[in-house]
Chains A and B, each alone.
Chain A
Amino acid sequence: MNENIRVGVFVCDCGSNIAGIVNVPEVVEYTKGLKHVAFADEGKWSCSVDYLAKMKELIKENDLNRVVIASCTPRTHEPLFKRTVKEAGVNPYLLEFVSIREQVSWVHRADPSKATEKVKDLVRMGVAKAVLLEEGEEIRLSVKTDCLVIGGGMAGMTAALNIADQGFHAILVEKESRLGGLLNRLSVVCHDHVKLEAAEIVKAKVALVESHQNIKVYTNAEIEAVEGYIGNYKVTLKANGSNETFDASTVIVATGMQEIEPVGQFQYGSDPRVVTQVQLEGLLRGDEVGQVKDVVIVNCVNSKNESRGCCTIGCSVSVKNALALKMLNKDIRVDILYRDLSMVREEGSDLETAKRAGVKFIRFPDDRYPEVTKEDGNLGVRVYDILLGKEFTLPSDLVVLTTGFKGDDTCEAIKGHLKVSTNPDGFFQEAHIKLGPLDFPSDGISLCGCARSPKNLKDSCEEGAGAAMRASIPMKRGYLEAEGIVADIDLDVCNSCGLCAKNCPYGAIKWEDEKPNVIKALCKGCGLCAADCPKNAISIIHYSDEQILAQVDAALEERPEEKIIGFVCHWCALGGVDMAGVSRLQYPTNARLIRVMCSARVAIKFIERAFELGAAGVLVAGCEFPTCHYITGNYAAEERIKRAKKRLARKGYDPEKLWNVWCSAADGPKFANTMRDMVKELGLE
């Protein structure tokens, strides 16, 4: 290391939040004695405008080239201090954040002297890492304005129109010969208040799409391949027999859904008088219902059971179609057999109308579905009415099954092309149900409509507009900025085993000329590859092996037998730690936490080093299953912990001293309890 490293340490009082418990002047004095520390200061309110201005001056005056902030939590204040050091002329990647409020003063209020000792340790660990920090930079990718929309149903068309209306270019790909999707097979939508012919709705939308100069439509088209990443997709299309290749910057998935055919159930397939809702829609649309007298609708077929959830639209579809039949001929008897009716908003008034029109509703129990019977060629439905405790036989000349839905058949292929995942129901899986409902974990690909879950027309169109907005953000800005925390592979050390490329949850490591190549735009910096690399050839910028090991060493410099080294993921586990702090949950002071981006970053060698140095225990904390900020990082971490335990046992360490906890960002009590349990079990009380 040639440069003259000058670390500046800024310890915050946070008013009395920290200084009320921790002896901050003592910490500052101690810090000044650490190697490479050129300057240390106490700030009353470090995040105040005044102090930030002073901090900038101090950094310049003292010629500091590394900064350690010991204050609240990086989850809230890191961006602010990063900006400040940047303004002071220091690369923001040379900042190390030490959390002494959430991790110390708020949770160890009963023991100020131990709290102060812990702060000294944490600051020493921070300085040890800061010394090894290297400059980094945000990765900037240019994003042009072409958006590939897969699926020309109502959601896809709405998305394409919203993209095109902003002046961007939409390429709309439909596998069938005409646009419209599922709506092409339905009769009417929204019955009671405004009756709209499905065909009319499609016609109006298609006219807008086809006449738009910014939309290019491909029908009878199939996606052959999608290569690349946001801003740089190469799409190969097979349309009308010939292949075509073009570039796209963003992708919207709107592939829709299909009914699960209830083959072999309820005489479906063996008797033409047993149909699904979509088939009934077809009959209504073509005016082919014929002279039926008794129609029985059976709801919740293949949904709301052990393997699938509620289809969410079946109830309103059944009521809508019951009314359609009644409007066709008021003398048709219509009975709806249901388990539960979930009808909200305007659907509720449809239900009222149906009841008054004479549609009968019979509720059957979850474990006793109706049976379709056939005697002398006459169809009947035997149903047990749970409210009356009676069994009825309903004569019937048309049985309609409200079946569950699954993702479209093309899902599997698209999933492979885009490297995204589907859920057990065969629908595409969004990044997060609340925080990223229309996004995939990979940047640049968004999701909408029935490809995500069954929806009515209104919700599908709304999601189409939403997905268009998600795709438009980088296209409007013209670039995407990604954090510079990415994997870096030393190809001289690499032995081309291929493990990294195989395990990367983002497909960010490509195999080129027998060697791995990290596509920085795709890499999210979770560190899974680095932790598992058998040759230690991979380094994660800002979370390198040396930096993390330096923190472990610094933490265990004194009295290691009392200390627990905790590796906590930035997203959920550290959130849980912070929540324990905010909730003022008191727990023992033994933990020395090291932040990693994902629990998958925790290599076995980190754990081993801690035990070699005599640590009382090691904790690996990550996101609660099944969520993970890095798709499946916590699963990889869990597997690795099992291997680590075996390795520890072989080396003569007690594997029971290696703990793990998977906690959500809101679960402060879980983290605090884990600390208490660990201290108790490890005999540190």
Chain B
Amino acid sequence: MRTFSLRDLDSDFVDEIESLDFIGTFRDCYACGTCTGGCPVHRVNNDYDPLRIMRMLVLGLREELLKGEMIWLCSDCYTCQENCPMEVKITDIINHLKNLATHEDNTPLGVSTQKKLLMDQGKIYIIDEFDNKKRAKAGLPSLPEMAEEARKLLNKR
């Protein structure tokens, strides 16, 4: 098992996240585990654990959080956030962490592939001539390529 030194931890990271208005304080977390208890992802995959994310955040384990895969397993259902007795905005925090990771190009392969598909074609599922022929038979209009619009949207940030 790796031994971490808390000297390496980033206290500024904790302050920085906490200073965001839409997040507020998460240090009130008293580790009750209600978030994990209600999490539908945790139920099928023990590797994902919102409480662990909160603890890592409180201690300032920046690298672990942003370079790891854990945050990407969140399904964004908001159950943890709704249940939290200390009103910690868990899902909002995880989304923010995903954004931070993306900015640092720390997206897992699945997510970066999807991003590439969107950039290239404007869609995650490729619609080719075969699909459009079938659509025509069913009396539906053919779908245009939307790569340009998607790129515009994605580059906005």
A357-372 vs B, CB cutoff 8 Å, 1 = contact: the mask equals: 0101011000000000
Render A365-400 as a binary contact track against B, CB cut-off 8 A, 1 for contact: 000000000000000001001011011111100000
Chain B CB count within 10 A is highest, among A358, A363, A382, A390, for A390
With A352-B28, A360-B58: A392-B51 Cβ-Cβ less than 8 Å: no
A356 at the interface (CB under 8 A from B): yes
Chain A hits for B56, CB < 8 A:
388
Q: Which residue of A lies closest to B54 (CB)?
A: A387
Report if A387-B52 is in contact (Cβ < 8 Å); known contacts: A356-B27, A360-B59: yes
- One digit per residue, 1 when the CB lies within 8 angstroms of any chain A CB and 0 when it does not, for chain B 1-21 equals 111111100010010000000
Residues of B within 8 A of A392 (CB): 3-6
Within the complex, what minimum Cβ distance (angstroms) separates B85 from chain A? 13
Contacting residues, chain A, for B7 (C-beta < 8 A): 395
Name the B residues within 8 Å of A356 (CB-CB). 25, 27-28
Contacts of B4 in A (CB 8 A): 390-393
Contacts of A395 in B (CB 8 A): 5-7
Assess whether B55 is interfacial by the CB under 8 Å rule. Answer: yes
**How many chain-B residues does the 8 Å CB contact rule pick out?**
20
Looking at the complex, which one of B1, B11, B31 makes contact with A387 (CB distance below 8 Å)?
B31
* A interface size (C-beta, 8 A): 20
Query: Does chain B have a CB within 8 A of A75?
Result: no
How long is the Cα–Cα vector from A279 to B59 in the complex, in angstroms?
28
Contact A391 B6 (CB under 8 A): no
Complex CA–CA separation, A362 to B58 (angstroms): 10
Please encode chain B, from 36 to 73, with 1 for each CB lying within 8 Å of some chain A CB and 0 for all others. 00000000000000011001101100000000000000
- The main secondary structure of chain A at its interface with chain B is strand
Q: Cα distance A521–B19 when bound, in Å?
A: 71
Does B31 contact A363, Cβ atoms closer than 8 Å? yes
Closest residue to A343 on the B side, CB-wise?
A: B30
Contact of A382 among B3, B11, B31 (CB under 8 A): B3
- In Å, the complex CA distance between A360 and B14 comes to 11
A335 within 8 A of B: yes
Whether A393 contacts B31 by the Cβ 8 Å rule is no
A638 shortest CB reach to chain B, Å = 46
Q: Considering only CB atoms, which chain B residue lies closest to A385 in the complex?
A: B55
Known: A358-B11, A360-B59, A387-B55. A393 touches B3 (CB 8 A): yes
By beta carbon, the residue of chain B nearest A341 is B30
Cβ contacts under 8 Å, A382 to chain B: 3
A609: which B residues are within 8 A, CB to CB?
none
Give Cα distance in the complex from A333 to B7, angstroms: 10
Chain A residues closer than 8 Å to B14, beta-carbon distance = 358
Inside 8 A of B5's CB, which chain A residues have their CB? 392-395
Please measure, in the bound complex, the distance between the C-alpha atom of A447 and the C-alpha atom of B4, giving whole angstroms.
Answer: 49
Which residues of the partner chain A approach B25 to less than 8 Å between Cβ atoms?
A: 356
Q: Is A355 interfacial (CB 8 A cutoff)?
A: yes
Per-position binary interface string of chain A over residues 325-337, scored 1 when its CB falls under 8 Å from any chain B CB and 0 otherwise:
0000000010100
Q: Give the CA-CA distance A355 to B55 in the complex, in Å.
A: 13
C-alpha spacing A67/B82, complex, angstroms: 72
A385 — which chain B residues lie within 8 A by C-beta?
A: 55, 59
- A387 to B14 Cα, complex, angstroms: 18
Contacting pair B31 A394 (CB below 8 A): no
A165 to chain B, nearest CB (A): 43
Given the known A-B contacts A355-B28, A395-B6, A395-B7, are A388 and B1 also in contact in the complex, defined by CB atoms under 8 Å?
A: no
Q: Which residues of chain A have C-beta atoms less than 8 A from B3's C-beta?
A: 382, 391-393
Write the chain B residue with the least CB distance to A352.
Answer: B28
Task: Determine how close the nearest CB of chain A comes to the CB of B8; give it in whole angstroms.
Answer: 10
User: Which chain B residue lies CB-closest to A388?
Assistant: B55
With CB as the reference atom, state the residue of chain A lying closest to B52: A388
- Whole-angstrom distance between the Cβ of B148 and the nearest chain A Cβ: 45
Q: Identify B27's interface contact among A355, A390, A393, CB under 8 A.
A: A355
Per-position contact with A for B122-153: 1 when CB-CB < 8 Å, else 0? 00000000000000000000000000000000
Q: A355-B27, A356-B25, A385-B55 are in contact. Are A390 and B6 (CB under 8 A)?
A: no
Residue of B nearest to A386 (CB): B31
User: How far, in Å, is B127 (CB) from chain A's closest CB?
Assistant: 45
Q: Which residues of B contact A394 (CB under 8 A)?
A: 5-6
Q: Bound complex: CA of A95 vs CA of B52, how far in Å?
A: 72
List of B residues within 8 angstroms of A358 by Cβ: 11, 14, 27
In whole angstroms, what is the CA distance A394 to B60 when docked? 14
A362→B6 CA distance, assembly (Å)? 11
CB closest residue in chain B, given A383: B6
Q: Which of A333, A356, A360 has the most CB of B within 10 A?
A: A360
Q: What CA separation (Å) do A480 and B7 show in the bound complex?
A: 67
Give complex CA distance A390, B5 in Å.
11
Residues on B with beta carbons closer than 8 Å to the beta carbon of A363: 31
Shortest Cβ distance from residue A349 to the other chain B in the assembled complex, whole angstroms: 11
Tell me the minimal C-beta distance from A434 to chain B in angstroms: 30
A326, chain B: closest CB distance, angstroms: 13
- Which chain B residue lies CB-closest to A384? B1
**B6 engages A387 (CB within 8 Å):** no
A352 to B26, CA, bound (A): 11
How many angstroms from the CA of A391 to the CA of B5 in the assembled complex? 9
A391 near B1 with CB under 8 A, answer yes
> Which chain B residue has the least Cβ–Cβ distance from A355?
B27
Give Cα A549–Cα B52 distance, bound, in whole angstroms. Answer: 72
Which chain B residue shows the least CB distance to A393?
Answer: B5
Sampled A-B contacts (16; CB under 8 Å) = A335-B6, A341-B30, A355-B28, A356-B28, A358-B14, A360-B59, A382-B3, A385-B59, A391-B1, A391-B3, A391-B4, A392-B4, A392-B5, A393-B3, A394-B5, A394-B6
Q: A355-B28, A388-B55, A392-B3 are in contact. List 19 more A-B contacts (CB 8 A).
A: A333-B6, A341-B30, A356-B28, A358-B14, A358-B27, A360-B6, A382-B3, A387-B55, A388-B52, A388-B56, A388-B59, A390-B1, A390-B4, A392-B5, A392-B6, A393-B4, A393-B5, A393-B6, A395-B7
A residues near B (Cβ < 8 Å) are 333, 335, 341, 352, 355-356, 358, 360, 362-363, 382, 385, 387-388, 390-395
Q: Which 4 A-B pairs have the closest CB atoms?
A: A355-B27, A387-B55, A393-B5, A391-B3
